[in-house]
């Protein structure tokens, strides 16, 4: 569903993404794990057609992000790391606006808003202005708005950021169910426990390069460690290395 071949993105002399390759399958939760500044968000913005690649190829459902940006945008839902929200709109108004922009009919949209209101439990503040929301409430409304149209591919940049443990668990459960329905989820995180718990495969990225890619269990087996945190530390510190596409598609 997603395929990246030798992708490069530079900003001046900085190679934010440095010749990376990976692909995802239908029904998969594919995670990109890395520290802040490792290249996760840049990769996602290329796939969401918000940045043009400097080199290489990025495909979304076999559509080239450079040649078919409008078609690509119709295939995805994208949750940015720092969502832009309209402070003077209520949560309900914001979701209605996003759903209308996505072409969702009024009846379906109303049902979806009710559905995600129940799932994420924000009925108490749905009709308050977003400017009054806490960070966690903002993240919940941004998440709901990015998935309202239920696209075949979701690109989620740090989807549990700002959420307390209870709501993080709710969002993770929803992501699992969404992938189980045959949809593809590509998510980033810098929290090893989330990647280990949620992702079917993980690409560990460091300074723009993929330094390991496989299932969490295989990554741990290869390095003979007990946790994905240990894998991450060993790889980014250069104490262990193996072909980045080992076990990858």
User: Taking Cα atoms as reference points, which of 58, 43, 34 lies closest to residue 205?
Assistant: 34
Contact 209, 176 (CB under 8 A): no
User: Taking Cα atoms as reference points, which of 123, 111, 32, 26 lies closest to residue 75?
Assistant: 26
Superfamily of domain 2-236: P-loop containing nucleotide triphosphate hydrolases (3.40.50.300)
Task: Output phi, psi for 155, to 5 deg.
Answer: -120, 110
pLDDT tens-digit series, residues 89-123: 999 999 999 999 999 999 999 999 999 999 999 88
| Average pLDDT of the residues in 192-216 | 96
- Distance separating alpha carbons of residues 38 and 53, to the nearest angstrom: 16
- Distance separating alpha carbons of residues 91 and 87, to the nearest angstrom: 9
List the domain boundaries for the chain.
2-236
Can you give the pLDDT at residue 246?
Answer: 47
- The secondary element (H helix, E strand) that includes residue 64 is strand 63-64
Assign 214 to helix, strand or coil: strand
- Give me the residue label for tokens 């709710």: 170
Contact 153, 184 (CB under 8 A): yes
Can you give the pLDDT at residue 203?
Answer: 97
Assign 150 to helix, strand or coil: coil
Contact 155, 77 (CB under 8 A): yes
Can you give the pLDDT at residue 248?
Answer: 46
Which token pair is 217? 């269990």
Can you give the pLDDT at residue 245?
Answer: 41
Assign 97 to helix, strand or coil: helix
Which residue did the predictor score with more confidence, 36 or 65? 65
pLDDT tens-digit series, residues 43-91: 999 999 999 999 999 999 999 999 999 999 999 999 999 898 999 999 9
């Amino acid at each position: 569903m997603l395929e990246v071949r030798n992708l490069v993105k530079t900003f001046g002399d900085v190679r934010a993404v440095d010749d990376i390759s990976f692909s995802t399958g239908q029904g998969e939760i594919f995670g990109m794990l890395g520290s802040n500044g490792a290249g996760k968000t840049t990769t996602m913005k290329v796939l969401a057609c918000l940045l043009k690649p400097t080199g290489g190829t990025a495909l979304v459902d076999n559509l080239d992000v450079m040649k078919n940006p409008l078609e690509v945008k119709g295939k995805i839902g994208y949750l940015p790391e720092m969502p832009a929200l309209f402070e003077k709109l209520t949560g309900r108004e914001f979701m209605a606006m996003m759903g209308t922009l996505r072409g969702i009919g009024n009846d379906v949209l109303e049902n979806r808003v009710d559905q995600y209101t129940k799932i994420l439990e924000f009925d108490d503040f749905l009709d308050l202005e977003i400017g009054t929301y806490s960070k966690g409430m903002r993240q919940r409304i941004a998440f709901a708005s990015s998935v309202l149209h239920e696209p075949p591919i979701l690109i989620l940049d740090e989807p549990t950021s700002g959420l307390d443990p209870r709501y993080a668990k709710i969002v993770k459960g929803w992501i699992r169910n969404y992938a189980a329905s045959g949809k593809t989820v590509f998510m980033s995180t810098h929290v090893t426990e989330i990647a280990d718990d949620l992702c079917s495969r993980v690409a560990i990225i460091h300074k723009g390069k993929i330094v390991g890619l496989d299932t969490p269990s295989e990554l741990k087996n290869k390095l003979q460690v007990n946790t994905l945190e240990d894998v991450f530390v060993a790889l980014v510190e250069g104490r262990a290395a193996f072909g980045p596409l080992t076990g990858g598609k």
